[in-house]
Amino acid sequence: MKVVIGRYVPGSGFFYSMDPRTKIIALILLMIATFLIDSFALMLGAIGLIVLLMMAGRIGIKRVYLGLRPLMFLLIFTFVFQILFNRQGEILLSRTVYYSFLSLALAVGLVVFWFFTKKFTRFKLFYFVIMVAGLYAIFTEIGNVSPFATGTLAIYEEGLSMAAFIMLRLIIIVTLSTILTITTKPTDLNLGLEHVLKPLKIFRINTEDIAMIISISLRYIPTLLDEANKIMLAQASRGVDFKEGKLKDKVMQIVSLLVPMFIISFKRSDELANAMEARSFTPGATRTRLHQLSWKRLDSVAIGIAFLALSLSIVLRISPWI
């Protein structure tokens, strides 16, 4: 399993001994604080603080980086989008873009070449940057051979800074949530969520039910994965090749996987409901717990610090000096 987001990694350190409620509330406070920050220096300062926190809590930076990696595409996409379409502030760069048969052909060729060779290099990000630079050169210089259309590529100051800002914000938010999920067991997380959501009771939303739904879903993810794997093997025995096949076959393959999946899930949920009722589970009734959450001094300190960070960011946002 390569996906790191949302996965608990056993370890030690103060994050692990914190109450899940603390971690959830602190995460929300710090996220709001991140959105309030509007200067580069502060943003970098915040990142520095988070790195320090991670080092103090003995969470490997590499782990969090692995968590960020699947989001790299999203990050790059928002970055490029902001740069290209935000047209405010001073113009930093303005170039004519040539659309010709040569430039389009070269661009497609380069992207295809990059797609097939990227797995042979160990510096994937660097290779990607080289590819983008190549695309830039093709459209602005090399492709200037009898173009049938031209356009302008303009980068504005505001666009660049907004792009950088959004990217940093996303990185901070994902890092903070990764710290939460790495250090908190799904069951604890769920229990914490149940307590944090308790105020919703005034809107007549039963938070215990929501928590139960979440915990059952979490519990059944591995089971369903296992089941899906078994169904795939059973259908592969009947000649379904999940790797290949035309579009028409693909639809049939997915149907042959999904239908048994649904049937088994419904059957399972039915059985689970019966098993729960056999053990006197009553929806909405007050339940006691084996594991009680305990609020420690560490939690009070952590919440205090999170509040401090939030108020600091509010003050810095509205104060006239910065």
Partner 1 sequence: MAIKFEHVSFQYKSIDNKGYLALDDVNVVIENTGEFITLIGETGSGKSTLVQHMNALLTPSKGSMNILGVKISSTAKENKDVQFNPIRKQVGLVFQFPEYQLFEETVEKDIMFGPKNFGVSESEAKKRAREAINIVGLDDSYLSRSPFNLSGGEKKRVSIAGILAMEPDILILDEPTSGLDPRGRDALLEVFYQIHTSLNKTVLIITHDMNTVYEYAKRVLVMREGALVYDGDPVKLFSRKNIDNWNLDVPDIIQLKDALESNFHLDMSGTIRNKKALLKRLEEVLS
| Residues lying near partner 1 in the complex (CB under 8 A) | 1, 227, 230-231, 233-241, 255-256, 258-260, 263-264, 267
Nearest approach, Cβ of residue 276 and partner 1 (Å): 22
Closest to partner 1 by CB, 201 vs 230, is 230
Nearest approach, Cβ of residue 248 and partner 1 (Å): 12
- Crossing angle of the two packed helices 101-117 and 124-137, in degrees rounded to 10: 170
Closest to partner 1 by CB, 236 vs 301, is 236
Query: Shortest CA distance to 36 belongs to which of 303, 304, 315, 320?
Result: 315
Nearest approach, Cβ of residue 235 and partner 1 (Å): 6
Closest to partner 1 by CB, 119 vs 279, is 119
- Here the contacts of 250-253 (C-beta below 8 Å, separation 24 or greater) are none
Gyration radius from the chain CA atoms: 26
* Structure-block tokens of residue 116: 């097939």
Closest to partner 1 by CB, 92 vs 254, is 254
Say if CB 189 and CB 218 are below 8 A apart. Answer: no
Closest to partner 1 by CB, 109 vs 245, is 245
Alpha-carbon distance of 91 to 209, in angstroms, equals 54
Cβ-proximal residues to 171 (8 Å cutoff; 6+ apart), any chain: 47, 68, 75
Nearest approach, Cβ of residue 141 and partner 1 (Å): 41
Question: Three-state SS for 123?
Answer: coil
Nearest approach, Cβ of residue 140 and partner 1 (Å): 41
Q: How far is CA 299 from the centre of its chain?
A: 26
Q: DSSP letter at 102?
A: H
Measured CA angle at 300 (ends 295, 304), to 5 deg: 155
Nearest approach, Cβ of residue 7 and partner 1 (Å): 9
Closest to partner 1 by CB, 237 vs 292, is 237
